[in-house]
Amino acid sequence: MNDTYLLHQLILASAERRPEAPALTFGADTLSYATLAASVTRFGSGLARLGLARSERVALYLDKRFEFVTAAFGTSAAGGAFVPVNPILKAEQVGYILQDCNVRVLVTSAERLASLSETLAGCHDLRHVIVTGASSELPSLSGASVHAWDAVLEGGGAPLRIIDTDLAAILYTSGSTGRPKGVVLSHRNMVIGAKSVASYLENRAEDTLLAALPLSFDAGFSQLTTAFHVGARVVLLNYLLPRDVLNAMVRERVTGLTAVPPLWIQLSQLPWPEQVTEHLRYIANTGGRMPLETLTRLRAQLPRTRPYLMYGLTEAFRATYLPPEEVDRRPDSIGKAIPNSEVLVLREDGSPCAPNEPGELVQRGALVAQGYWNDAERTAERFRPLPAHAPGREAGLVLPEIAVFSGDTVRMDEEGFLYFIGRRDEMMKTSGYRVSPTEVEEIIYATRLVGECAAFGVPHDTLGQAICVVATAPEGGALDTAALLAECRRHMPAYMVPAMIEGLPGPLPRNPNGKIDRRRLSAEYLERIEHKQ
């Protein structure tokens, strides 16, 4: 496994070791590693026959299915770079991504292609569209050739030579701070990331991982790479309801599930079938802090399942994890750096913070991405040279080392464990205090009086910002805002008590990666207030 350098080689190497082992399940069908490897190779050869040049972009606008996985890794085999587009995005958002990174080839379904008919006219770099599924008559497009999926799999071209520092993928962030940013990842980023995560999750060939997160999300795609690295099986799931996730876990005897806090919150409020504990070896949280109340509920239902609490950035794949044996001692920690990575806590001047002193989380190492596509200004803000006096930098080193500056405020205790405080652009400043929205939400979840909640600050003449909370009713009950506010007063200092708690029908809105969208909720609340005035 140590001689795997390129993304598609994760599949090819596992196919050499255990060709008949199950690799990928979708619905009632399962592909062996040998079958998947052959499809990946043929698709890569087909892209080469279409004239795909080295590092040219291939966009995938599909839900989870065999063709998505084949196209992603087949693009790697051809020497191109794949761009996964979240299937919930609309035509205008898809068009922005296709134009922003100059997509040359689009892989999509006939239904999705029809929804893009007007958008594609503005994608001047697009030359080929590959349509999945059986289609008796392919549509015609101005400026681009349209090909049937099966025709591309006939191959015929010679893949290009590439190395591990070449471009492998561009993953677009959710765009919570404006237009989405395309995070540029090399083969080295993705392969070392897969090896690192698989090592601490102790993934093995006998595992079955459930791909419940979007594959356009770094943690979602990681389910594929970590499984393929060890020769495990991945189950693709396009779920509609949290109960669909539970049903799939029972049906497929899933051993590992990674999800984001909103899904964990919903799952924790459902009764889990007892047989899940017979095979579910671990659960892992990423994409934000899991409320302690949610973790407690899950652990009560899954006494034999190991919980991993993780933190990561799309700009550096994954940063930290808390080993399961530490969860009882420090359940509010995000752990320590993952293997083959280093996490620093730095002051504004770049010097290391003292123990428990808040500072910015900075990550260095082979997982740090190559910047944002075609965006020098935002790349310079986030990807910066490490200060000369930073850990790991010796005086004799001449070339700079680029690290990713997360924008997240954390602290590190005396034993080296990290604790998330908040995003700098989400921290609330009220009555002279800086308050993290996650800190407010944590206390509210502990009351068990809500289903979901989100805290955010709104402008206030005297406080600077007033803390507002929107919440949904708990499972099977009603939201009692008066009782909730009373509990907040019992457990919070006065400056942290919400000035307003508003009930909303659930679930709360998500961004494309499945996280609760605080910015949208804040904007909608301000708009409602303006209409009332």
Which H, E and C letters describe 439-501, residue by residue? HHHHHHHHCCCCCCEEEEEEEECCCEEEEEEEECCCCCCCCCHHHHHHHHHHHCCHHHCCCEE
The CATH 3.40.50.980 domain(s) of the chain lie at 9-186
**Rounded to an integer, what distance in angstroms lies between the CA atom of residue 393 and that of residue 386?**
8
**Displacement of CA 31 from its chain's centroid (Å):** 25
Distances (CA, A) of 508 to 300, 438, 479, 514, 517: 25, 15, 14, 10, 8
Tell me: domain 426-532, CATH 3.30.300.30, correct?
yes
Residue located via tokens 């009555």: 431
Distances (CA, A) of 50 to 42, 107, 144, 159, 162: 12, 13, 12, 11, 18
Give the mean pLDDT per block of 10 residues along the chain (533 residues): 84 98 98 98 97 97 97 98 92 92 97 92 95 81 92 90 97 66 96 97 98 93 98 95 95 96 90 94 89 93 96 90 95 94 93 95 96 94 90 87 93 95 77 77 92 90 84 92 94 86 90 84 84 64
The CATH 3.30.300.30 domain(s) of the chain lie at 426-532
Q: Is 329 helix (H, G, I), strand (E, B) or coil?
A: coil
DSSP letter assigned to residue 372: B
pLDDT of residue 278: 93
Q: Residue 148: CB partners within 8 Å, gap ≥ 6?
A: 130, 131, 135, 138
Residue located via tokens 């006096």: 389
pLDDT of residue 175: 46
Class of domain 239-422: alpha beta
Q: Are 485 and 453 in contact (CB under 8 A)?
A: no
The CATH 3.40.50.12780 domain(s) of the chain lie at 239-422
pLDDT of residue 176: 39
Residue located via tokens 């999705």: 112
Please state the φ and ψ torsions of residue 421, each to the nearest 5 degrees. Answer: -105, -45
Q: Residue 232: CB partners within 8 Å, gap ≥ 6?
A: 203, 204, 205, 206, 207, 208, 209, 226
pLDDT of residue 1: 45
Which of 122, 99, 441 is CA-nearest to residue 292?
441
CATH code of the region 9-186: 3.40.50.980
Q: Provide the token pair at 334.
A: 């995000």
Rg of the chain over Cα atoms, rounded to whole angstroms, equals: 23
pTM of the model as a whole: 0.84
**Rounded to an integer, what distance in angstroms lies between the CA atom of residue 356 and that of residue 239?**
41
Which of 365, 523, 496 is CA-nearest to residue 439?
496
Q: Are 393 and 423 in contact (CB under 8 A)?
A: no
Q: Residue 243: CB partners within 8 Å, gap ≥ 6?
A: 270
